[in-house]
């Protein structure tokens, strides 16, 4: 892995995924709000891929093909987003998602939620009555649903290009999936050291969306332009469309839960774009190592020691305070006694 230190202006011109850290010099108080961008030229995940030659060739071909108009457009959008939006990284935080990624994520999310609920209205007779009025009646729901879906697919295409490299499947993700039981039962307080920017579960969800997105688009277009195809094509498309939706819904429920209630501090990554260093070494140790250059385990141990010291210091301080207050308390009691005597 090549890590290049660069000022933020230059790095956004380059293709590939960027991560940044504002915590390189935590001790330096003047360093707040400054960001350093790391450009990861070759992802570790991709390197492991190159072991199988045909896949590697295919990957290269795809990279070359993508470096055409779509990617140029994608780059321009990224540049504009960076110019308009801001990533403020406070002390003790790391930049996880730059502004372009965040905007894209929420565009995808809004389009998906609209598609989901308008789709649910058409999916089930039990939900039809509840959900169609929200979109302005049954006919309006029917009219809007394909457009919501189309926007979802367009926005997600950009997210796909944006995240293709960090989402590339690697051996570490297969190992992660094998430990899913320990993950869900919170047996592992800290993730294994090889968990990078995205863990296996996140990658699985990403590729589920890719698959569902393609299925949605294909079957959706067939149902949208139903007069062009036979009735059996529609009947089959309809089932595939539903299956893709159910598959994605399952991932969606888990995604929202993991992003909010299950992992405090994660939601911040999609609003302000930053996470705490603690969060990073707990949930994505390899990424922490990549952006800070420090060992996540050591950082954790150091923080634990510091916390213990802090606790001890507070306890000492409180004990002293109690003793001082006790002394003063007895003194005031004496004075009260003297007053009464007088």
Partner 1 sequence: MSNPQTFQIQEISAHPGPVPGQGTRREEEVCKYIDVTTCIGCKACEVACVEWNDHPFRETTFDDTYQTMPSTEWNYWNLIKFAEDERDGNLMWLMRKDQCMHCEDPGCLRACPADGAIIKYENGIVDFQQENCIGCGYCISGCPFDIPKFNEKTKKVYKCTLCSDRVGQGLEPACIKACPTGCLHFGTKSDMVQIAGSRAKQLREVSGFANAGVYDPSSIGGTHVIYTLHDINTPERYGLPRNPVIPPSYTYWKWLAKPTGLLMAGLGLLAVFFHRVSVGPKLPQPEDPPVVTEHADPVEAKRREQP
How many Cβ atoms from other residues are within 10 Å of residue 320's Cβ?
A: 10
Q: Which is nearer to partner 1, 103 or 195 (CB)?
A: 195
Encoded one letter per residue, x for contact with partner 1 by CB under 8 A and - for no contact, window 257-276 reads x---xxxxx----------x
- Least distance CB 209 / partner 1 (angstroms): 17
Query: Of the candidates 51, 231, 340, 342, which one interacts with partner 1 according to CB under 8 A?
Result: 231
The verdict on 281 binding partner 1 (CB under 8 A) reads yes
Which one of the spans 38-46, 125-133, 151-159, 193-201 is the region binding partner 1 (CB under 8 A)? Answer: 125-133
d(CA 212, CA 229): 22
The verdict on 190 binding partner 1 (CB under 8 A) reads yes
The verdict on 246 binding partner 1 (CB under 8 A) reads yes
Distances (CA, A) of 75 to 14, 46, 61, 72, 339: 8, 21, 19, 5, 82
Query: Of the candidates 5, 88, 253, 331, which one interacts with partner 1 according to CB under 8 A?
Result: 253
Q: Find tokens 């993700």 and name the residue.
A: 173
d(CA 89, CA 291): 14
The verdict on 10 binding partner 1 (CB under 8 A) reads no
Q: Which DSSP symbol is given to 6?
A: E
Q: Which is nearer to partner 1, 128 or 151 (CB)?
A: 128
Backbone phi, psi, residue 20, to 5°: -140, 160
Which one of the spans 64-72, 167-175, 194-202, 235-243 is the region binding partner 1 (CB under 8 A)? Answer: 235-243
Q: Find tokens 């009735």 and name the residue.
A: 231
Total interface residues for partner 1 by CB under 8 A: 54
Nearest by Cα to 283 from 310, 304, 259: 259
Backbone phi, psi, residue 192, to 5°: -55, 150
Helix axes 231-259, 200-224, angle to 10 degrees: 150
The verdict on 19 binding partner 1 (CB under 8 A) reads no
- Least distance CB 164 / partner 1 (angstroms): 27
Pairing of strands 18-21, 93-95: antiparallel
d(CA 240, CA 248): 12
Q: Which is nearer to partner 1, 54 or 125 (CB)?
A: 125
The residues that touch partner 1, with contacts defined as CB under 8 A, are: 122-129, 132, 137-139, 141-143, 184-186, 189-190, 223, 226-227, 231-232, 234-236, 238-239, 242, 246, 249-250, 253-254, 257, 261-265, 276, 278-279, 281-283, 300, 303-304, 307-308, 311
């Amino acid at each position: 892995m090549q890590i290049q230190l660069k000022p933020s202006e230059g790095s956004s011109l380059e293709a590939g995924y960027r991560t940044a850290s504002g915590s390189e010099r935590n001790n330096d108080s003047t360093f707040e709000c400054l960001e350093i961008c790391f450009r990861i030229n070759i992802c570790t995940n991709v390197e492991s891929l190159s072991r199988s030659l045909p896949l590697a060739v295919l990957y290269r071909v795809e990279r070359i093909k993508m470096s055409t108009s779509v990617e140029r457009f994608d780059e321009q959008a990224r540049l504009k987003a960076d110019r308009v939006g801001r990533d403020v990284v406070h002390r003790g935080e790391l930049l996880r998602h730059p502004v372009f990624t965040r905007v894209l994520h929420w565009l995808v999310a809004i389009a998906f939620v609209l598609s989901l609920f308008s789709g649910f209205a058409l999916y089930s007779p039990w939900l039809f009555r509840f959900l169609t009025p929200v979109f302005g009646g049954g006919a309006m729901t029917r009219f809007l649903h394909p457009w919501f879906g189309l926007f979802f697919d367009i926005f997600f295409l950009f997210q796909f290009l944006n995240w293709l490299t960090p989402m590339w499947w690697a051996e570490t993700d297969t190992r992660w999936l094998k430990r899913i039981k320990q993950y869900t039962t919170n047996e592992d307080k800290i993730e294994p050291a090889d968990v990078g920017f995205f863990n296996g579960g996140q990658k699985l969800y990403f590729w589920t969306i890719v698959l569902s997105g393609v299925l949605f688009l294909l079957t959706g277009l067939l149902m949208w332009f139903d007069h062009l195809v036979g009735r059996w094509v529609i009947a089959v498309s309809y089932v595939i469309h539903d299956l893709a939706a159910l598959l994605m819904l399952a991932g969606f429920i888990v995604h929202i839960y993991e992003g909010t209630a299950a992992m405090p501090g994660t939601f911040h990554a999609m609003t302000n774009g930053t996470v705490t260093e603690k969060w990073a070494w707990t949930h994505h140790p390899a990424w922490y190592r990549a952006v800070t250059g420090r060992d996540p385990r050591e950082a954790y141990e150091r923080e634990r020691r510091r916390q213990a010291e802090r606790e001890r210091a507070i306890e000492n301080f409180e004990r002293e305070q109690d003793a001082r207050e006790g002394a003063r308390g007895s003194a005031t009691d004496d004075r009260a006694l003297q007053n009464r005597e007088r």
